[in-house]
Structure formats: C-alpha cells, structure tokens
Amino acid sequence: MLSSIRTKLILVVLLIALGALISVVYSSLAIVRDSQRETVEISNRQVSNLISKSILSQVADYRRSLQHIFSSWQQHSTVAIDSAIFPDFVWIQISDLQGKPQYNWSEDKKLQDAGLNREMLLGFKKAEDLVQDVKSQSNATSDWVIFNSTIQPLFPTLILGVLVKKDGAVDPTHVMLAEVHAEKLFSNVQTRSSQQLILLDAHQNVLLSTRRGWDPSEFVLDDAELMETISSLRPGENRFSQMLYKDRGEQATSIFKYREGGGLSLVLQESTAELHASEARIRTQSLLIALIVMIITVNLIILFANTLISPLSQLMKLMEKAGKGEFSGKIKVKSKDEIGRLAQMFNKMTSELREREEEIEGAKTKLIQSEKMSAFGQMSAGIAHEVKNPLAGILGYAQMTKKKLPPEAEVLPYLDIIEKETVRCKEIVENLMKFARQEKAVMGRIDLNKTVKDSIRLVEHQISISGIKLVQVFAMDGAPIWFKGNANQIQQVLMNIMLNAQQAMENKGALTVSTHYSPENQKALIIISDTGCGMTAEVKHRIFEPFYTTKGVGKGTGLGLAVSLGIVKDHGGSIDVESEVGKGTTFTISLPIEGRVEGDSTDAAPPAPPASGTGTAAA
C-alpha cells in the first residue's frame, strides 16, 4: 500500500513537470526559429562593417602613399621610389586626364621573383583604358577605384586608380594607376569558418573569395542569379535572401554594395544547414537541460515521498523484528508531526525492551561465570590440598638435614635455597586455596620498598640473562613505607607482572620498577613499565578475566592476573593498566599505607643493587 501511494504521487507530479518542460522547450525553439533570420542579418552586417573598415583603412594608406609620390613627382619629374618605404607597390604610372603617361615606375626585382615583368602586368597593358574607367567610375563620394589584375595565382595583385590634382588646382588634373601586391590586403579580411566571402570590384570581377579551390586569376563570378541581384542594387544598399544551389544546397546570402571604390560589393553566404545544425544543437541542449531538470525533479519528488513513507516503512520492519525478539533498530525521524511522535514512542518502547534484554543477558553471564568460578574453586582446592602435603614433607626434611650438618658443610647454601623456595611454593598453594575461598591469608605490617626489592631479587637473574635492562627507582631513597598486607602475596603479584613483561619484550628493551609515596592521599604506588609489544583495547579489557590468555598453548593458564587482581583488592588497593600497541605497557598498583617510620633498622631493606648493570649481568 505504501509503495503504491509513493508511486502515484511520483507519477502525478512527474507528468505535470514533463508537460511544463515540453511546452517550454518547443516555445523556445519557435522563438529561436523566428529570430534566426534577424540574427544572421545582424551578424553578417557586423562582418561586413569589419571588412569594409579593414579594406578602406588599407586603401587609405595606399592613397596617402600615392599622394606623397605625386607631390614628390611635381617637384622632381624623375623622382625615384624606394621600394623599402612602399613595399606593396610593384608598378606606378602617372597619366594626364587624356591617358598620356607622364611617369612610369616598376619594382622589377619583385616581379622577376614572381616570374613576371612590367609588360605582362594588366595595368601596364591597359593603362589608357583604365584611366578612362577611373574617370568614369569615380564620383562625388569616392575618388578612387579598385580592380582585380592578378595574372600569377601565387602573386595576387589589384589595380588602384586614384584621381589627383596639382597644388592649387580645383579639379583633378591627373590619374595615378598603381599595381599593388594584394596579399597584405587580403590577409586582413577574415570571416567565420562556416561563411563564404566574395569581394567584387567596380567591374563586378572577383577580387577575393574564400570558396574552396578559388584561383585569384579567376575574375568572373559564375553565378548568374547572384550577379543579377548585385546589379539590381544601388551603392549603399544591401539585401538578405535564401539562394538554392544544386551542389551546395540552400545558402543564406547577404549582399552589401558600398559607395566607395566605384561600387565595391561584398557577398556573405552561409549554408542554412549550419543554421539548422545550430537549431538542432539548441534543441539538444534544451532537451538535455529538460532531462536534467526532470531528473532533479524526480529526485526531489522521491525525497519528499520518502520523508512521508520511509518512517512508516521503518516502523513496519522494526515491528516485524520486535516480534522476533530483536530490539536493536531505531526509527530516525526529525519531524514533529504525528509520524514523528509515533516514531519517538516506538523508539522509547524498543529502548526499554532492549535494556531489559541486556539486564537478562548480564544476569545470565554472571550466573555462568559464577558456576565456572565455583567449579574452578573446587578443582583448585583439591589440587592445592594434594600439593600442600608433599611440600610440607620436603620442607621438613630440608630443615632436619640442615640441623644435622655441620656449619661448614658446602651443601648448606643449597639447602637454604630449597627451604626458601619450598616455603614460597607452600605460600603460593595457600594463595591458590585463598583464591578458591578455602583459606585466608594472614595480614601484617610490612615495608613496601623491602617487599618490592625482595620480589626483584627473585626474578633479577632471569631477566638480566635475557638481555633486558632492569631499572629500579624507590621512593624515600628506599626508606620503609609501611602498609598492612601479606608480603608473599604482594611478591607473587609483582613477580607475575614482571615475568609477563619479560615475555612481552622478547629479550630486548627495558623494564622499570618504581615506588611512589603520597602522604597526602595515604597511598603508595608500585609502577611496572615495559617497552614490549603492548596490548590492543580488546585485550586490555579482558586481561583480568580468569582463564583468558594471549599466550600459546601450554604457556599460560590465564589465572595469573586474575589472582593478582584478587590479591590487590584484598589489600584494599587497585590495579590500573595503560598500554599502546608497539610501545609497551604500564601497570600501576595503588595500596593504602599506614605511615612511614624512619631509622627503623629492624625492618629496613638491604640496599638495592645499582640500576646500571642489572640488565647486562652475565649468567
């Protein structure tokens, strides 16, 4: 039901959005299609203005150069023209109005490089006719005319005819004809890549064309319809039309006829296929934008629908899980409406059920642990009882043997060691029985520093021969620090932690054992730090659990730290652990103290061995 509601909501809004987008897209295309002609006309008019400015600017430079040459000729009839100053001119002639030459000059070297000579130039061969053309084509708005005169396609040229007058004259007195290398002029004329340009001179001959394969020596424009349209225009007019060609298809054609230059004409043609392609691109872009908007709209609709439907769907799933006894889920709703309040009430219910489930699981775990410890206590009591009696026999025979031997006997030191270690084993068994709640250790007034020193002596040799440096630091310079406890049990705790540190360091690093005294807090601290492998957070959390060990099979029982924690708690203290993988572990044992008595020689500990050298003692 929920899915059908969401689907219907999405479909309704989607259809509305789709209809609106389609209307917008097709309206936009209609506007683009209607404004296409106007856009092309404006664009071509701008191109025409740029080309005319470029041509007129260059022609103006040529005319100024010719005027300068004419002025120099008036002063010196044999004036020499420097081709370096006028590099584009290849032939210049000054004639009177009847066409009679008055001055003639040519740049023979440049002509020779192009494979030409002066006699081959169109201006030289038809100078008299060209003078009459200049006179007839010139008008009140333009006193110059331009013609195509290219003979060599690789060396395009044009003829510039200019009316000039002597100083003081009112009307033109001479005609100057100049054959100009047109490459510089043509290089300044540029259009779009999709456009074709045709520039016609006063005789309607082609001056320049960007059509593919055009030869500058081809004067005649082979396009009767276009020529007819150009001829019908008066100077200063322009026209835009669509012309259809068999080989090029439909062409959008703009024709401009200038007032200057005796009627220069410019034709710009662009395939309507390009315009249709532009329209297709706009259509594609519009559809793409519409698609993107549609996708965004659909996502927003889905998001909005999910905000309504998702909480109900989650509620249904969590109710199914709750029916199976799973209370881990939670409905995430930020709204404060009816759905939000329903979700909050359901979350509260599952939270309460989850807490009750955890309490039941905790009670079950404690019951299992209690049964485990009970079984372990019974087993420990039996083992301790069986081991305690043989140890008592060994201790008795050792003491009896010592009494019967003379004081100078060589075996007495060994018997002392047997007696001492047997006593320690007996005490360990008694501690095991205590852990199993079978016996209770006897507490007395003991010295903390002396107890730590005695513990270090028991493992010092074993640690030293393994290559580990042993560092000892005692509070109050080793003076007695009294507290109520059992020295053997404290030694057992310290030895257990120190031997664990030795195994963690793998025969390298340093083991530091230090004591600290705080009379303000009535606390004494024993800190044991190693530079071993360290522990992860998970291991650190479980190290005091009975039977938990990270050692290999046969190397540990998992009881050492559990027994140690029990001993320290029996002394009213605590154990804190700090560890970082790869850097080492630090155990801090905190014990309550009774006070400190200085100068008590009976309980003072013997001087500790120097810290230096303890890690390098030879076996």
Rounded CA gap, 114 and 111, in Å? 5
In angstroms, what is the C-alpha Rg of the chain?
Answer: 57
Q: What's the whole-number mean pLDDT along residues 157-167? A: 89
Mean pLDDT is lowest, of 105-119, 167-181, 473-487, 544-558, for 544-558
Q: Among the three residues 249, 275, 301, which one is the final residue of a domain in this structure?
A: 275
**CA dist list (Å): 368 to 363, 376, 488, 574:** 9, 12, 32, 25
| Rounded Cα distance, 157 and 524, in Å | 112
The answer to whether residue 323 is domain-embedded is no
Looking at the structure, do residues 474 and 427 belong to the same domain, yes or no?
no
Average pLDDT estimate for 149-175: 87
- Its domain, for residue 368, covers 355-440
- pLDDT, tens only, 358-397: 788 777 776 776 666 666 666 766 776 677 778 888 888 8
What's the pLDDT score for residue 438? 43
Does residue 454 share a domain with residue 411?
A: no
Whether residue 593 is contained in a domain is answered as yes
Convert the pLDDT of each residue in 527-539 to its tens digit.
999 998 888 888 8
Instruction: Indicate the range of 24-28, 61-65, 119-123, 540-544 predicted with least confidence.
Output: 24-28
- Give the separation between CA 286 and CA 295, rounded to whole angstroms: 14
Highest mean pLDDT: which of 59-63, 510-514, 590-594, 603-607? 510-514
Structure confidence at residue 599 as a pLDDT band (50, 70, 90): very low
Tell me the mean pLDDT in the region 10-22: 75
Six-digit token string for 103:
């001055």
Q: Which two tokens stand for residue 349?
A: 């219910």
Residues 108 and 75 both lie in one domain: yes
Is residue 369 a part of any domain in this protein?
yes
Q: Is 601 helix (H, G, I), strand (E, B) or coil?
A: coil
Give the domain-ending residue among 400, 423, 440: 440
Average pLDDT over residues 472-479: 88
- The overall longest dimension of the chain from CA atoms, in Å, is 166
Same domain, 137 and 30: yes
On whether residue 322 sits in a domain, the answer given is: no
Q: Which two tokens stand for residue 176?
A: 């100057």
Question: How high is the mean pLDDT of the chain?
Answer: 79
CA–CA distance, 422 with 434 (Å, rounded to integer): 18
pLDDT at 372: 66
Residues 146 and 263 in one domain: yes
* C-alpha to C-alpha distance for 126 and 365, rounded to whole angstroms: 122
518 and 373 share a domain?
no
Given a contact cutoff of 8 angstroms between Cβ atoms, the answer to whether 55 and 189 are in contact is: yes
My answer on whether 77 and 133 are in the same domain is yes
Long-range contacts of 501-504 (CB under 8 A, 24+ apart): 501/528, 501/530, 501/532, 501/585, 502/459, 502/462, 502/463, 502/466, 502/468, 502/530, 503/551, 504/530, 504/532, 504/533, 504/534, 504/584, 504/585
Q: What pLDDT score was predicted for residue 606?
A: 37
What CATH number is given to the structural domain containing 397? 1.10.287.130
Closest CA relative to residue 179, chosen from 110, 262, 259: 110
Mean pLDDT of all residues in 283-302? 77
Same domain, 109 and 59: yes
The token pair at 481 is 């620090």
- Regarding whether 419 and 447 lie in a shared domain, the answer is no
Confidence of residue 46 (pLDDT cuts 50, 70, 90): confident
pLDDT tens-digit series, residues 296-355: 877 777 777 777 677 777 777 777 777 766 767 776 766 676 677 777 787 788 778 778
538 Cβ neighbours under 8 A, 6+ residues apart = none
Task: Mark whether 504 and 565 lie in a shared domain.
Answer: yes
The rounded distance, in Å, linking the Cα atoms of 466 and 113 is 100
224 band by pLDDT with thresholds 50, 70 and 90: confident
For position 198, what pLDDT does the model report? 86
3-class DSSP state of 107: coil
Task: With residue 88 as reference, give the H or E element that holds it.
Answer: none
Q: Give yes or no for residue 615 having a pLDDT over 50.
A: no
Based on the fold, state whether residues 135 and 207 are members of the same structural domain: yes
Q: Is residue 328 part of a domain?
A: no
- Which of 187-191, 283-287, 290-294, 491-495 is most confident? 491-495
- Domain CATH for 610: 3.30.565.10
256 and 368 fall within a common domain: no
Of 241, 259, 275, the one marking the end of a domain is: 275
559 part of a folded domain: yes
* Banded pLDDT at 604 (limits 50, 70, 90): very low
**For residues 158 and 442, which has the higher predicted lDDT (pLDDT)?**
158
- pLDDT value of residue 614: 30
Q: Domain tally for the chain?
A: 3
The answer to whether residue 229 is domain-embedded is yes
What is the spatial distance between Cα 305 and Cα 298, in angstroms, rounded to a whole number? 10
C-alpha to C-alpha distance for 559 and 360, rounded to whole angstroms: 27
User: Residue 337 domain-assigned?
Assistant: no
Contacts of 368 (CB under 8 A, 6+ apart): none
Which range (8-12, 60-64, 154-158) has the least confidence? 8-12
